[in-house]
Structure 1
Amino acid sequence: MCGFRRSTSSSTHKICIGCRFITFVKIKSLKINQKLTLLNDPIYGFIHINAPIIFKLLEHPFFQRLRRITQMGLSSLVYPGARHSRFEHALGCLHLMQKTIGILREKGVSINNNEALAMQIAILLHDIGHGPFSHAMENSLVKGVHHESLSLQFMSYLNKEFDGQLTLAISIFQNQYQRKFMHQLVSGQIDLDRMDYLKRDSFYTAATEGNINSERIITMFNVIDDELVIEEKGMHSVEKFLIARRLMYWQVYLHKTSLVGELLLERLLIHVRKLYKEGVELNTPKSLTFFLNHDTGAIDSEELLNRFALLDDYDIISSLKEWQHHSDFVLKDLSSRILNRDLLKIHIKNSPFTEPEILEKKALLSSWKLNSEQLDNYVFTGSISNQAYVPDTKTIKILKKSGQVSSLQEQSELFIRNSFSNIESKFYLCFAKPSL
Structure 2
Amino acid sequence: MLYQFGTKFRDEMRPRFGVLRSREFLMKDAYSFHIDEADLEKYYKTMFDAYTNICIKCGFQFRAVEAASGAIGGSFSHEFVVLTDAGEEEITWCNCGYGANSEKVECLKIEQSKEEVLPAEEILTPDTGAVEDVAKFLNLSHKKFIKTMIYIADEKPVAVLVRGDHEINEIKLQALLGADETALADEQTVISVTNAPIGFAGPAGLKNIKIIADLSVVELSNALTGANKKDYHLKNVNYKRDYNADIVADIRKVIRGDICPKCKKEELKFSRGIEIGHIFKLGAKYSKSMNASYLDATGKEKFIIMGCYGIGVTRILAAIVEQSHDNDGIIWPDNIAPFEVAIVPLNYVDEKTKETTEKIYEELSSKGLDILIDDRDERAGIKFKDADLIGIPYRITISEKNLANGNVELKARRDAKDAVRILKSEEVISELLKIFKK
Measured against the shorter chain, the TM-score band is under 0.3
User: Radius of gyration: which is bigger?
Assistant: 2
Structure with the larger RCO, 1 or 2 (CA within 8 Å, 6+ apart): 2
TM-score by length of 2: 0.23
TM-score by length of 1: 0.23
The structure with the largest helix share of the pair is: 1
The structure with the largest strand share of the pair is: 2
